[in-house]
Protein backbone atom coordinates (compact mmCIF):
# COMPACT_ATOMS: atom_id res chain seq x y z
CA UNK A 1 0.00 0.00 0.00
CA UNK A 2 1.48 3.37 -0.92
CA UNK A 3 0.29 6.65 0.52
CA UNK A 4 1.82 9.80 1.85
CA UNK A 5 1.63 10.25 5.61
CA UNK A 6 1.71 14.00 5.01
CA UNK A 7 -2.13 14.24 5.26
CA UNK A 8 -2.49 17.92 4.39
CA UNK A 9 -5.70 19.31 5.87
CA UNK A 10 -6.62 16.11 7.76
CA UNK A 11 -6.73 18.21 10.89
CA UNK A 12 -9.55 20.33 9.45
CA UNK A 13 -11.81 17.42 8.50
CA UNK A 14 -14.64 16.23 10.69
CA UNK A 15 -14.20 12.89 12.47
CA UNK A 16 -16.73 11.39 10.03
CA UNK A 17 -14.73 12.63 7.04
CA UNK A 18 -11.53 11.19 8.52
CA UNK A 19 -13.19 7.79 8.93
CA UNK A 20 -14.42 8.00 5.33
CA UNK A 21 -10.85 8.71 4.21
CA UNK A 22 -9.48 5.75 6.18
CA UNK A 23 -12.24 3.50 4.82
CA UNK A 24 -11.29 4.45 1.28
CA UNK A 25 -7.52 4.20 1.63
CA UNK A 26 -7.51 1.00 3.69
CA UNK A 27 -10.58 -0.62 2.07
CA UNK A 28 -12.45 -0.93 5.35
CA UNK A 29 -15.62 -3.03 5.42
CA UNK A 30 -18.87 -1.39 6.67
CA UNK A 31 -18.53 -3.48 9.87
CA UNK A 32 -15.06 -2.01 10.41
CA UNK A 33 -16.38 1.52 9.95
CA UNK A 34 -19.03 0.64 12.56
CA UNK A 35 -16.25 -0.58 14.87
CA UNK A 36 -14.44 2.77 14.52
CA UNK A 37 -17.69 4.52 15.45
CA UNK A 38 -18.58 2.25 18.37
CA UNK A 39 -15.19 1.33 19.86
CA UNK A 40 -14.44 -2.13 18.48
CA UNK A 41 -15.29 -4.40 21.40
CA UNK A 42 -18.70 -5.92 22.08
CA UNK A 43 -19.96 -6.51 25.59
CA UNK A 44 -19.87 -10.27 24.91
CA UNK A 45 -16.19 -10.10 23.89
CA UNK A 46 -15.38 -7.96 26.91
CA UNK A 47 -17.15 -10.43 29.17
CA UNK A 48 -14.94 -13.23 27.87
CA UNK A 49 -11.82 -11.09 28.28
CA UNK A 50 -11.87 -10.16 31.98
CA UNK A 51 -13.94 -10.66 35.11
CA UNK A 52 -17.07 -8.89 36.40
CA UNK A 53 -17.63 -6.94 33.17
CA UNK A 54 -20.39 -4.39 33.71
CA UNK A 55 -20.07 -2.13 30.67
CA UNK A 56 -17.72 -0.75 28.02
CA UNK A 57 -15.46 2.31 28.16
CA UNK A 58 -14.32 3.99 24.95
CA UNK A 59 -11.45 6.38 24.20
CA UNK A 60 -10.61 8.50 21.13
CA UNK A 61 -8.86 6.74 18.25
CA UNK A 62 -6.67 9.14 16.23
CA UNK A 63 -4.10 9.00 13.48
CA UNK A 64 -0.83 10.91 13.76
CA UNK A 65 0.54 12.20 10.46
CA UNK A 66 3.87 13.02 8.82
CA UNK A 67 5.97 10.09 10.00
CA UNK A 68 8.77 8.92 7.75
CA UNK A 69 10.70 6.04 9.30
CA UNK A 70 13.51 4.22 7.46
CA UNK A 71 12.46 6.03 4.26
CA UNK A 72 8.86 4.77 4.47
CA UNK A 73 5.77 6.77 5.35
CA UNK A 74 3.68 5.52 8.28
CA UNK A 75 0.33 6.68 9.59
CA UNK A 76 0.40 6.20 13.35
CA UNK A 77 -2.79 5.04 15.10
CA UNK A 78 -3.07 6.40 18.63
CA UNK A 79 -5.55 5.92 21.43
CA UNK A 80 -5.29 8.60 24.07
CA UNK A 81 -7.50 11.03 25.95
CA UNK A 82 -4.72 13.59 26.52
CA UNK A 83 -4.76 16.69 24.28
CA UNK A 84 -1.56 17.61 22.39
CA UNK A 85 -0.17 14.10 22.03
CA UNK A 86 -1.44 13.45 18.50
CA UNK A 87 -0.84 17.04 17.37
CA UNK A 88 2.57 17.17 19.08
CA UNK A 89 3.92 13.96 17.56
CA UNK A 90 2.54 14.87 14.11
CA UNK A 91 4.21 18.25 14.32
CA UNK A 92 7.55 16.83 15.47
CA UNK A 93 7.35 14.18 12.73
CA UNK A 94 6.84 16.97 10.18
CA UNK A 95 9.97 18.75 11.40
CA UNK A 96 11.99 15.50 11.29
CA UNK A 97 10.53 14.54 7.90
CA UNK A 98 12.07 17.66 6.38
CA UNK A 99 15.55 16.33 7.22
CA UNK A 100 15.04 12.75 6.07
CA UNK A 101 12.84 11.28 8.79
CA UNK A 102 13.60 8.80 11.57
CA UNK A 103 15.95 5.86 11.41
CA UNK A 104 14.74 3.07 13.67
CA UNK A 105 15.44 -0.56 14.43
CA UNK A 106 14.58 -3.26 16.95
CA UNK A 107 16.48 -6.28 18.21
CA UNK A 108 15.26 -9.85 17.81
CA UNK A 109 12.05 -10.44 19.80
CA UNK A 110 13.71 -12.14 22.76
CA UNK A 111 11.71 -12.23 25.96
CA UNK A 112 13.28 -13.67 29.10
CA UNK A 113 11.56 -15.73 31.76
CA UNK A 114 12.90 -16.44 35.22
CA UNK A 115 12.63 -19.44 37.53
CA UNK A 116 13.48 -18.96 41.18
CA UNK A 117 15.09 -21.92 42.94
CA UNK A 118 15.27 -22.08 46.75
CA UNK A 119 17.37 -24.47 48.84
CA UNK A 120 15.86 -25.67 52.10
CA UNK A 121 18.21 -25.65 55.06
CA UNK A 122 20.97 -23.81 53.20
CA UNK A 123 22.18 -20.66 54.91
CA UNK A 124 23.41 -17.35 53.53
CA UNK A 125 27.20 -17.52 53.50
CA UNK A 126 27.98 -14.74 55.98
CA UNK A 127 31.58 -14.87 57.08
CA UNK A 128 30.83 -16.45 60.43
CA UNK A 129 28.53 -19.09 58.97
CA UNK A 130 29.78 -22.56 59.73
CA UNK A 131 28.23 -23.77 56.46
CA UNK A 132 29.74 -21.14 54.21
CA UNK A 133 31.64 -23.58 52.00
CA UNK A 134 28.74 -25.98 51.78
CA UNK A 135 26.32 -23.23 50.72
CA UNK A 136 28.61 -21.88 48.03
CA UNK A 137 29.16 -25.42 46.79
CA UNK A 138 25.38 -26.12 46.59
CA UNK A 139 24.69 -23.01 44.51
CA UNK A 140 27.72 -23.39 42.27
CA UNK A 141 27.10 -27.09 41.54
CA UNK A 142 23.38 -26.39 40.87
CA UNK A 143 24.41 -23.63 38.50
CA UNK A 144 26.75 -26.02 36.67
CA UNK A 145 24.09 -28.75 36.43
CA UNK A 146 21.62 -26.32 34.81
CA UNK A 147 24.19 -25.17 32.28
CA UNK A 148 25.13 -28.80 31.53
CA UNK A 149 21.45 -29.57 30.88
CA UNK A 150 21.00 -26.51 28.65
CA UNK A 151 20.11 -28.46 25.48
CA UNK A 152 17.61 -30.66 27.32
CA UNK A 153 15.90 -27.67 28.95
CA UNK A 154 15.70 -25.74 25.66
CA UNK A 155 14.16 -28.76 23.99
CA UNK A 156 11.63 -29.15 26.79
CA UNK A 157 10.68 -25.46 26.48
CA UNK A 158 10.30 -25.82 22.71
CA UNK A 159 8.13 -28.91 23.05
CA UNK A 160 5.28 -26.84 24.52
CA UNK A 161 5.34 -24.41 21.57
CA UNK A 162 5.76 -26.48 18.39
CA UNK A 163 3.93 -23.95 16.19
CA UNK A 164 6.15 -21.13 17.32
CA UNK A 165 9.23 -23.24 16.65
CA UNK A 166 7.90 -23.90 13.12
CA UNK A 167 7.64 -20.13 12.68
CA UNK A 168 11.30 -19.73 13.57
CA UNK A 169 10.86 -18.79 17.24
CA UNK A 170 11.45 -20.73 20.44
CA UNK A 171 13.91 -21.18 23.28
CA UNK A 172 17.33 -19.66 22.62
CA UNK A 173 19.39 -19.71 25.76
CA UNK A 174 19.64 -20.60 29.44
CA UNK A 175 21.65 -18.66 31.99
CA UNK A 176 21.86 -18.68 35.78
CA UNK A 177 22.48 -16.12 38.52
CA UNK A 178 23.35 -16.85 42.13
CA UNK A 179 22.06 -14.62 44.92
CA UNK A 180 24.05 -15.58 48.02
CA UNK A 181 22.83 -12.91 50.40
CA UNK A 182 19.12 -12.37 50.71
CA UNK A 183 17.14 -11.92 53.91
CA UNK A 184 15.70 -15.43 53.54
CA UNK A 185 18.82 -17.26 52.45
CA UNK A 186 20.54 -17.95 49.16
CA UNK A 187 18.70 -18.57 45.89
CA UNK A 188 19.37 -19.31 42.23
CA UNK A 189 17.58 -17.77 39.30
CA UNK A 190 17.43 -19.59 35.98
CA UNK A 191 16.81 -17.33 32.97
CA UNK A 192 15.20 -18.68 29.82
CA UNK A 193 15.65 -16.50 26.72
CA UNK A 194 12.86 -17.12 24.25
CA UNK A 195 12.26 -15.80 20.73
CA UNK A 196 8.56 -14.92 20.60
CA UNK A 197 8.52 -13.87 16.91
CA UNK A 198 5.53 -11.57 16.25
CA UNK A 199 3.90 -12.04 19.66
CA UNK A 200 4.57 -9.95 22.76
CA UNK A 201 5.16 -13.35 24.31
CA UNK A 202 4.27 -13.13 28.01
CA UNK A 203 2.02 -16.18 27.92
CA UNK A 204 4.38 -18.08 25.64
CA UNK A 205 7.32 -17.52 27.99
CA UNK A 206 5.34 -18.16 31.17
CA UNK A 207 4.19 -21.51 29.78
CA UNK A 208 7.75 -22.41 28.77
CA UNK A 209 9.07 -21.50 32.25
CA UNK A 210 6.39 -23.62 33.90
CA UNK A 211 7.27 -26.49 31.57
CA UNK A 212 10.96 -26.57 32.54
CA UNK A 213 10.44 -25.82 36.24
CA UNK A 214 10.05 -29.45 37.45
CA UNK A 215 13.26 -30.55 35.67
CA UNK A 216 15.03 -27.48 37.06
CA UNK A 217 14.03 -28.54 40.58
CA UNK A 218 15.12 -32.10 39.88
CA UNK A 219 18.52 -31.09 38.52
CA UNK A 220 19.31 -28.75 41.40
CA UNK A 221 17.64 -30.57 44.26
CA UNK A 222 16.03 -27.23 45.06
CA UNK A 223 12.44 -26.03 45.27
CA UNK A 224 11.03 -23.87 42.50
CA UNK A 225 8.88 -20.85 43.35
CA UNK A 226 8.41 -17.92 40.89
CA UNK A 227 8.15 -18.84 37.17
CA UNK A 228 7.34 -15.83 35.00
CA UNK A 229 8.71 -13.48 32.32
CA UNK A 230 10.62 -10.37 33.26
CA UNK A 231 9.22 -7.10 31.93
CA UNK A 232 12.74 -5.67 31.93
CA UNK A 233 13.13 -7.00 28.39
CA UNK A 234 16.59 -5.59 27.83
CA UNK A 235 17.36 -8.20 25.17
CA UNK A 236 14.59 -6.65 23.08
CA UNK A 237 15.70 -3.05 22.72
CA UNK A 238 14.30 -0.69 20.12
CA UNK A 239 16.16 2.38 18.91
CA UNK A 240 15.41 5.43 16.83
CA UNK A 241 17.42 8.47 15.81
CA UNK A 242 16.87 11.71 13.95
CA UNK A 243 18.72 14.87 12.98
CA UNK A 244 16.96 18.20 12.47
CA UNK A 245 18.21 21.61 11.49
CA UNK A 246 17.98 24.40 14.02
CA UNK A 247 15.99 26.41 11.44
CA UNK A 248 13.33 23.71 11.25
CA UNK A 249 12.97 23.91 15.04
CA UNK A 250 12.59 27.67 15.08
CA UNK A 251 16.23 28.72 15.42
CA UNK A 252 19.54 27.96 17.15
CA UNK A 253 18.18 29.26 20.46
CA UNK A 254 15.39 26.64 20.50
CA UNK A 255 17.89 23.86 19.75
CA UNK A 256 20.10 25.08 22.60
CA UNK A 257 17.16 25.23 25.05
CA UNK A 258 16.17 21.68 24.08
CA UNK A 259 19.66 20.45 24.98
CA UNK A 260 19.45 22.35 28.28
CA UNK A 261 16.16 20.57 29.06
CA UNK A 262 17.78 17.24 28.14
CA UNK A 263 20.66 17.84 30.53
CA UNK A 264 18.24 18.73 33.33
CA UNK A 265 16.67 15.27 32.84
CA UNK A 266 20.13 13.70 33.00
CA UNK A 267 20.99 15.27 36.35
CA UNK A 268 17.59 15.50 38.06
CA UNK A 269 15.32 12.47 38.41
CA UNK A 270 12.33 14.74 39.11
CA UNK A 271 12.66 16.01 35.55
CA UNK A 272 13.69 12.59 34.14
CA UNK A 273 10.40 11.06 35.34
CA UNK A 274 8.36 13.67 33.44
CA UNK A 275 10.69 13.55 30.43
CA UNK A 276 10.10 9.77 30.19
CA UNK A 277 6.38 10.17 30.83
CA UNK A 278 6.23 12.39 27.75
CA UNK A 279 7.99 9.71 25.68
CA UNK A 280 5.52 7.10 26.92
CA UNK A 281 2.60 9.40 26.05
CA UNK A 282 3.29 8.49 22.43
CA UNK A 283 4.39 4.89 22.92
CA UNK A 284 1.45 3.98 25.15
CA UNK A 285 -1.03 5.58 22.72
CA UNK A 286 0.24 3.30 19.93
CA UNK A 287 0.33 0.33 22.33
CA UNK A 288 -3.33 0.81 23.29
CA UNK A 289 -4.38 1.39 19.67
CA UNK A 290 -2.70 -1.86 18.57
CA UNK A 291 -3.94 -3.94 21.52
CA UNK A 292 -0.54 -4.16 23.21
CA UNK A 293 0.09 -4.31 26.95
CA UNK A 294 1.07 -0.76 27.92
CA UNK A 295 1.66 -1.74 31.56
CA UNK A 296 4.35 -4.16 30.42
CA UNK A 297 5.95 -1.41 28.33
CA UNK A 298 5.81 1.08 31.21
CA UNK A 299 7.43 -1.42 33.61
CA UNK A 300 10.17 -2.21 31.09
CA UNK A 301 10.84 1.42 30.19
CA UNK A 302 11.17 2.64 33.77
CA UNK A 303 13.25 -0.37 34.89
CA UNK A 304 15.54 0.25 31.90
CA UNK A 305 15.75 3.96 32.78
CA UNK A 306 16.96 2.90 36.24
CA UNK A 307 19.34 0.18 35.04
CA UNK A 308 22.52 1.82 36.30
CA UNK A 309 21.09 2.55 39.74
CA UNK A 310 20.06 6.13 38.96
CA UNK A 311 17.01 7.08 36.91
CA UNK A 312 17.88 8.38 33.46
CA UNK A 313 16.11 9.87 30.43
CA UNK A 314 15.38 7.32 27.70
CA UNK A 315 16.36 9.79 24.98
CA UNK A 316 19.45 11.84 24.24
CA UNK A 317 19.62 15.23 22.50
CA UNK A 318 22.78 17.04 21.53
CA UNK A 319 24.00 19.68 19.11
CA UNK A 320 26.10 18.78 16.09
CA UNK A 321 29.02 21.03 15.22
CA UNK A 322 26.90 22.70 12.49
CA UNK A 323 24.12 23.47 15.00
CA UNK A 324 21.76 20.62 13.95
CA UNK A 325 19.94 18.89 16.78
CA UNK A 326 20.63 15.14 16.98
CA UNK A 327 18.24 12.93 18.93
CA UNK A 328 18.13 9.26 19.83
CA UNK A 329 16.12 6.89 21.97
CA UNK A 330 16.74 3.37 23.29
CA UNK A 331 14.31 1.34 25.37
CA UNK A 332 12.90 -2.17 25.67
CA UNK A 333 9.72 -2.61 23.62
CA UNK A 334 8.12 -6.05 23.90
CA UNK A 335 5.22 -5.65 21.49
CA UNK A 336 3.34 -7.95 19.17
CA UNK A 337 1.10 -7.93 16.14
CA UNK A 338 -0.54 -11.27 17.01
CA UNK A 339 -2.01 -12.73 20.18
CA UNK A 340 -3.25 -10.89 23.27
CA UNK A 341 -5.98 -8.32 22.65
CA UNK A 342 -5.05 -7.98 18.95
CA UNK A 343 -6.83 -11.31 18.43
CA UNK A 344 -10.27 -9.96 19.25
CA UNK A 345 -10.33 -6.15 19.27
CA UNK A 346 -11.57 -4.96 15.89
CA UNK A 347 -10.12 -1.45 16.19
CA UNK A 348 -6.73 -2.88 17.22
CA UNK A 349 -6.85 -4.96 14.03
CA UNK A 350 -7.71 -1.85 11.99
CA UNK A 351 -4.85 0.01 13.69
CA UNK A 352 -2.43 -2.71 12.60
CA UNK A 353 -3.76 -2.49 9.02
CA UNK A 354 -3.24 1.27 9.04
CA UNK A 355 0.32 0.85 10.36
CA UNK A 356 0.99 -1.88 7.81
CA UNK A 357 3.88 -3.39 9.78
CA UNK A 358 5.06 -6.87 8.82
CA UNK A 359 6.41 -8.00 12.20
CA UNK A 360 6.42 -7.25 15.91
CA UNK A 361 9.98 -6.05 15.47
CA UNK A 362 8.92 -3.48 12.88
CA UNK A 363 6.16 -2.29 15.24
CA UNK A 364 8.75 -1.85 18.03
CA UNK A 365 10.97 0.22 15.72
CA UNK A 366 8.02 2.44 14.74
CA UNK A 367 7.06 2.90 18.39
CA UNK A 368 10.61 3.95 19.27
CA UNK A 369 10.38 6.64 16.57
CA UNK A 370 7.01 7.77 17.97
CA UNK A 371 8.57 8.03 21.46
CA UNK A 372 11.40 10.16 20.10
CA UNK A 373 8.95 12.39 18.17
CA UNK A 374 6.80 12.84 21.27
CA UNK A 375 9.82 13.81 23.32
CA UNK A 376 10.93 16.33 20.67
CA UNK A 377 7.44 17.83 20.65
CA UNK A 378 7.40 18.21 24.44
CA UNK A 379 10.94 19.64 24.65
CA UNK A 380 10.29 22.06 21.80
CA UNK A 381 7.07 23.26 23.45
CA UNK A 382 8.90 23.70 26.76
CA UNK A 383 11.70 25.60 25.00
CA UNK A 384 9.31 27.92 23.17
CA UNK A 385 5.77 28.73 24.26
CA UNK A 386 5.63 26.39 27.29
CA UNK A 387 3.53 23.26 27.56
CA UNK A 388 0.28 24.85 28.70
CA UNK A 389 -0.27 27.07 25.66
CA UNK A 390 -0.50 24.10 23.28
CA UNK A 391 -2.58 22.12 25.74
CA UNK A 392 -4.96 24.98 26.36
CA UNK A 393 -5.44 25.96 22.71
CA UNK A 394 -6.43 22.37 21.90
CA UNK A 395 -8.68 22.36 24.92
CA UNK A 396 -10.30 25.61 23.72
CA UNK A 397 -10.75 24.11 20.24
CA UNK A 398 -12.47 21.08 21.72
CA UNK A 399 -14.82 23.28 23.74
CA UNK A 400 -15.59 25.38 20.68
CA UNK A 401 -16.37 22.24 18.64
CA UNK A 402 -18.53 20.85 21.43
CA UNK A 403 -20.53 24.06 21.66
CA UNK A 404 -21.01 24.35 17.88
CA UNK A 405 -22.10 20.70 17.73
P1 LIG B 1 -0.80 -15.20 23.35
O2 LIG B 1 -1.02 -15.99 24.58
O3 LIG B 1 -2.01 -14.80 22.58
O4 LIG B 1 0.21 -16.04 22.43
C5 LIG B 1 0.49 -15.73 21.09
C6 LIG B 1 -0.18 -16.76 20.18
O7 LIG B 1 -0.04 -16.36 18.83
C8 LIG B 1 0.47 -18.13 20.32
O9 LIG B 1 -0.52 -19.11 20.34
C10 LIG B 1 1.29 -18.23 19.03
O11 LIG B 1 1.48 -19.59 18.63
C12 LIG B 1 0.40 -17.46 18.07
N13 LIG B 1 1.07 -16.93 16.87
C14 LIG B 1 0.50 -16.90 15.63
N15 LIG B 1 1.34 -16.34 14.75
C16 LIG B 1 2.46 -16.01 15.41
C17 LIG B 1 3.68 -15.35 15.04
N18 LIG B 1 3.91 -14.97 13.79
N19 LIG B 1 4.59 -15.13 16.01
C20 LIG B 1 4.36 -15.48 17.29
N21 LIG B 1 3.23 -16.12 17.71
C22 LIG B 1 2.29 -16.37 16.77
O23 LIG B 1 -0.02 -13.86 23.62
P24 LIG B 1 1.42 -13.60 24.24
O25 LIG B 1 2.06 -12.67 23.28
O26 LIG B 1 2.16 -14.85 24.61
O27 LIG B 1 1.08 -12.85 25.59
C28 LIG B 1 0.63 -11.52 25.55
C29 LIG B 1 -0.44 -11.32 26.59
O30 LIG B 1 0.04 -11.71 27.87
C31 LIG B 1 -0.84 -9.89 26.70
O32 LIG B 1 -2.24 -9.83 26.64
C33 LIG B 1 -0.35 -9.49 28.09
O34 LIG B 1 -1.19 -8.51 28.66
C35 LIG B 1 -0.41 -10.77 28.84
N36 LIG B 1 0.43 -10.95 30.05
C37 LIG B 1 1.42 -10.07 30.37
C38 LIG B 1 2.19 -10.29 31.51
C39 LIG B 1 3.32 -9.32 31.82
O40 LIG B 1 3.67 -8.52 30.98
N41 LIG B 1 3.90 -9.39 33.03
C42 LIG B 1 1.95 -11.40 32.30
C43 LIG B 1 0.95 -12.29 31.92
C44 LIG B 1 0.20 -12.07 30.78
- 339-370 pLDDT per residue, tens: 999 989 999 999 999 999 999 999 999 999 99
Catalytic annotation, pick one of 29, 47, 82, 134? 82
CA 198 to ligand 1 centroid distance, Å: 9
Which of 6-10, 34-38, 281-285, 314-318 is the least confident region?
6-10
Q: Which residues, including other chains, have CB under 8 Å from residue 174's CB and lie 6 or more apart?
A: 146, 147, 150, 153, 154, 190, 191, 192, 193
CA 199 to ligand 1 centroid distance, Å: 5
Q: Indicate if ligand 1 lies below 6 Å from the C-beta of 171.
A: no
Higher pLDDT, 98 or 127: 98
Nearest CA to ligand 1 atom 25: 201
**pLDDT given for residue 222 in this prediction:** 95
Nearest CA to ligand 1 atom 21: 199
pLDDT at 165 over 80: yes
The pLDDT of 113-141, averaged and rounded, is 82
Q: Which of 97, 108, 98 is CA-nearest to residue 68? A: 97
Q: Other CB atoms closer than 10 Å to residue 17's CB: what's the count?
A: 12
Q: Indicate if ligand 1 lies below 6 Å from the C-beta of 340.
A: yes
Q: Indicate if ligand 1 lies below 6 Å from the C-beta of 342.
A: no
CA 197 to ligand 1 centroid distance, Å: 10
Nearest CA to ligand 1 atom 31: 340
**pLDDT given for residue 128 in this prediction:** 62
Which ligand 1 atom is at minimum distance from the Cα of 200? 25
The pLDDT of 108-129, averaged and rounded, is 85
**pLDDT given for residue 134 in this prediction:** 80
Q: Is 391 a catalytic residue?
A: yes
Q: Is the dihedral of CA 221, 119, 179, 133 positive or negative?
A: negative
Rounded to two decimals, what is the model's pTM? 0.95
Q: Which of 285, 367, 286, 362 is CA-nearest to residue 330? A: 367
CA 170 to ligand 1 centroid distance, Å: 13
pLDDT at 257 over 80: yes
Contact 391, 84 (CB under 8 A): yes
Q: Indicate if ligand 1 lies below 6 Å from the C-beta of 195.
A: no
**pLDDT given for residue 127 in this prediction:** 63
Amino acid sequence: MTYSSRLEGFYNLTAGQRIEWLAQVFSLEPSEVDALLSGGLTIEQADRLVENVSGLYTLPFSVAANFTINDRDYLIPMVTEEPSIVAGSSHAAKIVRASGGFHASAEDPILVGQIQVMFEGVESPYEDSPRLVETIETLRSSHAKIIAARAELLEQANNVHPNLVKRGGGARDISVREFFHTRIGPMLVVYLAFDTRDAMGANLVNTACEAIAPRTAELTGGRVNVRILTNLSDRRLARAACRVTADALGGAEVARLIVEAQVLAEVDRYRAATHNKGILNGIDAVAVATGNDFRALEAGAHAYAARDGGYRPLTNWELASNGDLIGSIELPLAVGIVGGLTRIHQVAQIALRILDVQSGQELAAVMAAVGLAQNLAALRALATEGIQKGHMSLHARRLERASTG
